[in-house]
Chain A
Amino acid sequence: QSVLTQPPSASGTPGQRVTISCSGSSSNIGKNTVNWYQQFPETAPKLLIYGRNLRPSGVPDRFSGSKSGTSASLAISGLQSDDEADYYCAAWDDSLDGVVFGGGTKLTVL
């Protein structure tokens, strides 16, 4: 059972906009920034979003993050087949004194 809750799956068609939710609590998302990662099978995760909706160099602006209260969302616009991957949210948890991850969302591009 992950501390942050994500839907196990999401889907969309090419060109569509999809969002992935991440629900936490006052000790993690409520107080700290949320980071989002993309992971393809058999490869290391890649940082997509950090801080207040910042993207590392090379991440397209089709990816964006938002936060409200104890929940956060990752939005992917102009969905492409290459976006089919697992997506994880993460945040620092002040009560656990550690990083907590969501369980991951498998995105399928139909």
Chain B
Amino acid sequence: EVQLVESGGGLVQPGGSLGLSCAASGFSFSDYWMHWVRQIPGKGLVWVSRINGDGSSTHYADSVRGRFTISRDNAKNILYLQMSSLRADDTAVYYCASASVGGARNALDIWGQGTMVTVSS
């Protein structure tokens, strides 16, 4: 079964750090761009970051650049998002997603179930 499963969410204080993981299964993980997208409950989708198949190319939204780091371990089929200097406005559900359809780098056809990150004192 094709699947993405996020973990690592939770409550963290402002200024703190948190690491998210996304375990992939059922597809050729290393072949595809992977993305993180977040969503404040009840609000819209916001793109966070993406990484190419071999991890050599990364992109970030302006709001997280310099604070978040995306990476991947293709041997373990795991995508990561290391978040630091967290702020209250980083509070959201974080989804990992794969762009595995038709060679389109940004068409996110496989999504995880999401993990909630709450930044609060």
A residues in contact (CB < 8 Å) with B: 2, 32-33, 35, 37, 39, 44-47, 50-51, 54, 56, 88, 90-92, 96-104
Which 10 interchain pairs have the tightest Cβ spacing?
A50-B107, A44-B111, A99-B47, A104-B44, A47-B109, A101-B45, A35-B107, A103-B44, A92-B106, A50-B104
Encoded as 1 (CB less than 8 Å from any A CB) or 0, chain B from 82 to 104 comes to 00000000000001000001101
Query: Interface residue count for B (Cβ, 8 Å)?
Result: 24
- Are A50's CB and B47's CB within 8 A? no
Chain B residues, CB < 8 A from A39: 45
A90-B47, A104-B45 as given contacts; A99 in contact with B106, CB under 8 Å: yes
B101 CB to closest chain A CB (Å) equals 6
Chain A residues, CB < 8 A from B45: 37, 39, 45, 88, 90, 101, 104
- Are B61's CB and A98's CB within 8 A? yes
Chain B residues, CB < 8 A from A56: 101, 109
B63 CB to closest chain A CB (Å) equals 10
Partner of A44, one of B59, B105, B106, B114: B114
Chain A residues, CB < 8 A from B62: 96, 98
In the complex, what residue of chain A is closest to B6 when comparing beta carbons? A44
A44-B95, A47-B107 as given contacts; A97 in contact with B44, CB under 8 Å: no
A69 CB to closest chain B CB (Å) equals 20
**Further contacts, 5 of them, CB under 8 A, given A32-B106, A101-B46:** A44-B111, A45-B108, A90-B45, A97-B59, A98-B61
A44-B113, A45-B45 as given contacts; A37 in contact with B108, CB under 8 Å: yes
A56-B101, A103-B44 as given contacts; A47 in contact with B108, CB under 8 Å: yes
Encoded as 1 (CB less than 8 Å from any A CB) or 0, chain B from 42 to 74 comes to 001111001000000001111000000000000
A19 CB to closest chain B CB (Å) equals 19
A50-B101, A104-B45 as given contacts; A98 in contact with B60, CB under 8 Å: yes
Partner of A99, one of B50, B111, B112: B50
In the complex, what residue of chain A is closest to B96 when comparing beta carbons? A44
